[in-house]
């Protein structure tokens, strides 16, 4: 609980925001809401689980059985995540897309990473100075944003060619008479928001499973609830969006501080999620802590669920939460059921922030087909 002080004793924190107003840019949340949910129920479930996902597992299996070395898992997971969002946009016809989509998506992912890297550097310097002085970091940032938007437009334009066949979200957006420019921005937003977040959450989860043999075994019993707890627990330890930022809409008292209206707030959910006052044994990977019925839970006295908010909260929280949870549960259960996993990294893997929480080194997983 927050300890309140007399107002006169409080420190007044005033901060200047260096964020430049970005003109003519709309995000998905600025858009008018569709009259009804575009895709609901079982269809969404099917698309988020990714009909293509099961095929992918078969392809992975066949390649491994033929002795092919498993490709880079990070880019495979990115491809799977992108497939899910493309499935949702194009519906049941998405599988007819040409191969060069994968290439474009991988370029898109690389230029997104550059945006993340340069944005992280820009955090330490006032952005308007960088802009005025035309520093390299600013030029790199601009270049990566331009390239990402260019690729986003290209990918969307190709999808628009298929829109008449589509029975997905793209078709619904055109039926709402949205302009092609707005649709392009929404599609780019969705691909950007969905790709890295789900990829790295899946990667962290697989890494934790390779280090927790008992949990890995338990995950194979086919209990979907338990898989969900695995994903939740992994996001508590490694929230890919480790900081939530808000501008205070009104004067607020927070702990010992009186903060004026307009103050930018950064909340570290990485820290609150690993605080022992919020979660007993905070650094241990214990998915059963989320299961009210599990007898082992009685030893974990502290349990404050709102202290971990991987999808944020409120009107600007993640709109893809349901899709992400469905997709991640499906990925994890498919991978753990079909494969044995090993992590070959010798050095300790730490997390670093590059806008999102990523490992500080490439993770080298070996997969082998599991005998069932």
Q: What are the binding residues for heme?
A: 318
- Note whether 244 binds ligand HEM by CB under 6 A: yes
Residue 47 Cβ vs ligand HEM, minimum distance, rounded to whole Å: 11
Site for ligand HEM in 161-190 (CB under 6 A): 189-190
Alpha carbon distance 359, 227 (integer Å) = 22
Residue whose token pair is 């979660």 = 279
Site string for ligand HEM, 107-146 (x = CB under 6 A): ----------------------------------------
- Among candidate residues 348, 369, 237, the one with its CA nearest the CA of residue 290: 237
- At a CB cut-off of 8 Å and minimum separation 6, what does 57 contact? 334, 335, 338
Report which residue's Cβ sits closest to ligand HEM: 320
Cα separation, 244 vs 265, in Å, equals 8
320 binds ligand HEM (CB under 6 A): yes
Query: For residue 194, which of 331, 41, 61 has the smallest C-alpha distance?
Result: 331
* Candidate list 241, 259, 332, 357; residue touching ligand HEM; CB under 6 A: 241
Give the residue, chosen from 17, 29, 252, 368, that forms a contact with ligand HEM under the rule CB under 6 A. Answer: 29
Pull the structure tokens for residue 332: 């994890």
Based on CB atoms, which residue is closest to ligand HEM, 27 or 72? 27
Quote the least distance from Cβ 195 to ligand HEM, whole Å: 8
Min CB(25)–ligand HEM separation in Å:
12
Let me know how long the chain is: 372
User: What residues form the annotated binding site?
Assistant: 318
Residue 194-213 contact track with ligand HEM, rule CB under 6 A, x = bound = x--xx--x------------
Q: Which of 5, 10, 18, 28 binds ligand HEM (CB under 6 A)?
A: 28
Pairwise CA distance, residues 88 & 167, whole Å: 9
Among 12, 13, 19, 27, indicate the residue that binds ligand HEM (CB under 6 A).
27
- Rule CB under 6 A: is residue 312 a binding residue for ligand HEM? yes
CB atoms within 10 A of CB 338: 18
**String of b and e for 85-110 (b: at least 16 CB within 10 Å)?**
bbbbbbbebbeebeeebeebbebbbe
Among 52, 237, 323, 332, the residue binding ligand HEM under the rule CB under 6 A is 323
Task: Tell me the CA end-to-end span of the chain in Å, nearest whole number.
Answer: 50
**Token code pair at residue 351:** 């997390």
Does residue 17 belong to the site contacting ligand HEM (CB under 6 A)?
no
Nearer to ligand HEM, 21 or 295 (CB): 21
Helices within the chain (DSSP H only)? 41-49, 51-65, 73-90, 100-122, 127-133, 136-161, 169-175, 180-210, 213-219, 224-237, 269-273, 321-338
Lay out the site mask for ligand HEM across 249-278 (x = CB under 6 A, - = otherwise).
------------------------------
Binding site for ligand HEM (CB under 6 A): 27-29, 85, 189-190, 193-194, 197-198, 201, 240-241, 244-245, 310-312, 316-320, 323-324
């Amino acid at each position: 609980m927050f300890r309140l002080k007399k107002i006169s004793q409080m420190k007044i924190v005033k901060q200047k925001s260096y964020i430049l107003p970005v003109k003519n840019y709309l995000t998905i949340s600025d858009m008018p809401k569709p009259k009804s949910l575009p895709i609901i129920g079982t269809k969404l479930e099917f698309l988020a689980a990714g009909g293509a996902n099961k095929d992918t597992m078969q392809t992975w299996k066949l390649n491994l059985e033929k002795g092919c070395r498993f490709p880079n898992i990070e880019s495979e997971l990115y491809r799977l995540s992108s497939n899910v969002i493309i499935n949702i946009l194009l519906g049941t016809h998405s599988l007819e897309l040409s191969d060069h989509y994968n290439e474009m998506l991988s370029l898109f992912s690389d230029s997104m990473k550059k945006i993340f890297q340069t944005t992280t550097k820009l955090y330490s310097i006032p952005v308007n100075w960088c802009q005025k002085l035309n520093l390299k970091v600013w030029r790199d940032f601009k270049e990566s944003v331009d390239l990402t938007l260019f690729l986003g437009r290209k990918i969307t334009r190709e999808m628009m060619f298929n829109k008449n066949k589509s029975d997905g979200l793209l078709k619904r957006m055109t039926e709402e008479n949205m302009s092609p420019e707005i649709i392009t921005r929404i599609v780019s937003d969705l691909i950007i928001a969905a790709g890295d977040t789900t990829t790295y959450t899946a990667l962290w989860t697989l890494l934790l499973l390779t280090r927790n043999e008992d949990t890995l075994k338990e995950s194979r019993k086919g209990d979907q609830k338990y898989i969900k707890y695995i994903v939740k627990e992994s996001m508590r330890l490694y929230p890919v969006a480790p900081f939530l930022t808000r501008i205070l809409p009104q004067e607020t008292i927070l702990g010992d501080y009186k903060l004026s209206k307009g103050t930018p707030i950064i909340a570290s959910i990485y820290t609150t999620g690993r605080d022992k006052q919020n979660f007993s044994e905070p650094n241990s990977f214990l998915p059963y802590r989320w299961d009210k019925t599990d007898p082992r839970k009685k030893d974990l006295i502290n349990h404050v669920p709102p202290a971990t908010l991987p999808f944020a909260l409120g009107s600007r929280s993640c709109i893809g939460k349901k899709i992400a949870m469905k997709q991640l549960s499906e990925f994890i259960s498919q991978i753990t059921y079909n494969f044995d996993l090993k992590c070959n990294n010798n050095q300790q893997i730490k997390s670093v922030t590059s806008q999102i929480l990523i490992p500080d080194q490439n993770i080298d997983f070996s997969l082998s087909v599991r005998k069932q």
